[in-house]
Chains A and B, each alone.
Chain A
Amino acid sequence: MSEPVNIRLLGPGTRVALIDGATAEVVSNPLDGVWVFARYLSSPDDPERVGSEEMIFAQDIIEIQGGA
């Protein structure tokens, strides 16, 4: 199992992988350690999500893929 991601360190532009196989780019971070606002870049389970901006739960973020 990979190390948990400290989402407080994720700035705007950071790309992250999500537990359901989707990827998203951080738009803003309220620094509460629980949520980030992010835009979906891909979503195999729900392609309609791509491009939409949602709050992403910390435990759904499994990996930092790059970006800012």
Chain B
Amino acid sequence: MMTYKGGYRPDLVDLNAGRISREIFVNEEIYREELERLFARAWLFVGHESQIPNPGDFFVSGMGEESVILCRDRADKVHVFLNSCRHRGMKVCRYDEGNTPVFTCPYHGWSYGTDGKLVGVPYFREAYREKLDKSQWGLVEVAQLCLYKGTVWASWDPAAPPFFEYLGDFLRYLDFSLDGWDGSEGGTEILGGIQKWLIPCNWKFPAENFCGDSYHNISHRSVDLVGIGPSGSGRRDMQERLMARRLQISFYDRGHQTGIYLLPKDQPMPASYQHSPIVAEYFSHCEEERRKRRGEWARVIGSPGEIFPNTALHPRQPRTIAVWHPRGAHQTEVWRWYLVDSAAPAEVKNFLRDYYIRYSGPAGMTEQDDMENWNYAHAASRGTIARRYPYSYEQGLGFETENYEWQGLHIPGTVMDITEAKSSEHNLRNLYRRWAEFMEAESWDELATWRVARAAE
């Protein structure tokens, strides 16, 4: 393992020059720092409430490298616990999901209620003489938890800003993934199970890809030629490309970013899902409703994005949330959730299920292209010679726009209009800007810069 002696900025992440060292992807020392400085402090996506509808339901998820239990207790309250016995650390839950009255450690038998309280200690009377204070030995619970439109988010850091403050104006972009297609608030549910698989690459390769790397579209050329899309051509319905402004949006102070398509004023959304009359009719109806509910904001069509650090949003086709779980510097475990409108007819859900798995996941044709690139890019960056040479992130440097507005609609965030340019690394730079800030900051006083700006106003 190479010991890195330099700083993060500008030595490793030089955003003025648009250069980023390969060390941040392959150095194991830096990776260990990430676990402490990013994953123990940031807000992370844990799961969806529809996975635990009843008291006693649980779903085993992950935060950083660590296993956590998302569960609903007997009083209907949602919790996220570290999946580790307080006595000797054994996992207290080794199932992926289920329903239980207790989580019991198989090693020595300590047992915890679904509210995390220690309720069973073998030989409590005899061996402990009833002296053990059970109230001090419950499961470790996350410091902060937020339920939003069905999704469950958590942070280990009690000093982290509340979730909505952490998101800032990015919240409206998260809504693209969580609201019904008709614009109804939080009208989505999880479709089927969660896909989980390993990729031999650093977690930041997929993270930056989903920030809005449109440059790699050439990788998916073969999928476009096959025509897996829901209207029979390409891999998605993308007719809006012909008329919309194509934007990349970054929130510099938060580290979140996304792409969007911004339709012209009074321009209807192009037809989609033409391979099935029922599905096409459903989305056509939803689009009309969405226009009524959202007004001008309905001109905005979601595109891939990323909530810092490792939650990816794919809000339209297919509609998914992915988490890039770090599994060492050289491996990522991907967990992908698939979303559909709760109110959609069964025919629509079935159609989407087929399309989603054609596109995404370990067997999805588009995702396979990505995995191959990340796999070999990572492997080829680990060598002694290779890691001396930085990557280039120079696309569009200096062409960012504040207060972007087009045909009467103001877009929050720092915007790069790539309609003519086709591509930019604006959003990717934002990911690493925030990454470097997290790696250097000792406290949230340094990270929550918006608080300073607000106080100064």
Contacts and interface: CB of A to CB of B under 8 A. Distances in A.
A35 B100 contact: no
B100 A55 contact: no
Nearest to B111: A35
18 contacts: A30-B100, A30-B101, A32-B102, A32-B104, A33-B106, A34-B106, A34-B109, A34-B120, A35-B104, A35-B109, A37-B101, A55-B111, A55-B119, A55-B120, A57-B109, A57-B120, A57-B123, A59-B122
Given A34-B104, A34-B122, A35-B111, 15 more contacts: A28-B101, A30-B100, A30-B101, A30-B104, A32-B102, A32-B104, A32-B106, A33-B106, A35-B102, A35-B120, A37-B101, A55-B102, A55-B111, A58-B109, A59-B122
Interface string A25-58: 0001010111101000000000000000001011
Interface in B83-139: 100-102, 104, 106, 109, 111, 119-120, 122-123
Contacts of B101: 28, 30, 37
A57 B122 contact: yes
Nearest to B101: A30
Residue among A34, A37, A59 with the highest chain B CB neighbour number at 10 A: A34
A32 B111 CA distance: 10
Contacts of A58: 109
Q: How large is the interface on B (under 10, 10 to 19, 20 to 34, 35 or more residues)?
A: 10 to 19
Contacts of A37: 101
B105 to A, nearest CB: 8
Contacts of B123: 57
Contacts of B119: 55
A47 to B, nearest CB: 15
Nearest to B108: A34
A59 B121 CA distance: 12
A57 B122 CA distance: 6
Contacts of A30: 100-102, 104
A1 B111 CA distance: 27
A37 B101 CA distance: 10
A18 B198 CA distance: 47
Contacts of B102: 30, 32, 35, 55
B189 to A, nearest CB: 28
Contacts of A35: 102, 104, 109, 111, 120
A55 B122 CA distance: 10
Nearest to B56: A30
A49 to B, nearest CB: 11
A34 B121 CA distance: 11
Nearest to A37: B101
A15 B119 CA distance: 22
B170 to A, nearest CB: 41
Nearest to B123: A57
B109 to A, nearest CB: 5
Nearest to B120: A55
B188 to A, nearest CB: 33
- Shortest 3 CB-CB distances between A and B: which pairs? A32-B104, A55-B120, A34-B109
B92 to A, nearest CB: 10
A20 to B, nearest CB: 9
Contacts of B120: 34-35, 55, 57
A52 B119 CA distance: 15
Contacts of A33: 106
Contacts of A32: 100, 102, 104, 106, 111
A59 B124 CA distance: 13
Nearest to B93: A32
A66 B454 CA distance: 71
A57 B101 CA distance: 15
A33 B119 CA distance: 16
A36 to B, nearest CB: 10
A4 to B, nearest CB: 14
A34 B106 CA distance: 7
A45 B275 CA distance: 75
Nearest to B105: A34
Nearest to A28: B101
A58 to B, nearest CB: 8
A23 to B, nearest CB: 17
Residue among A28, A32, A35, A59 with the highest chain B CB neighbour number at 10 A: A32
A55 B102 CA distance: 11
B54 to A, nearest CB: 15
A30 B120 CA distance: 12
A47 B163 CA distance: 52
Nearest to A31: B100
Contacts of A28: 101
B181 to A, nearest CB: 41
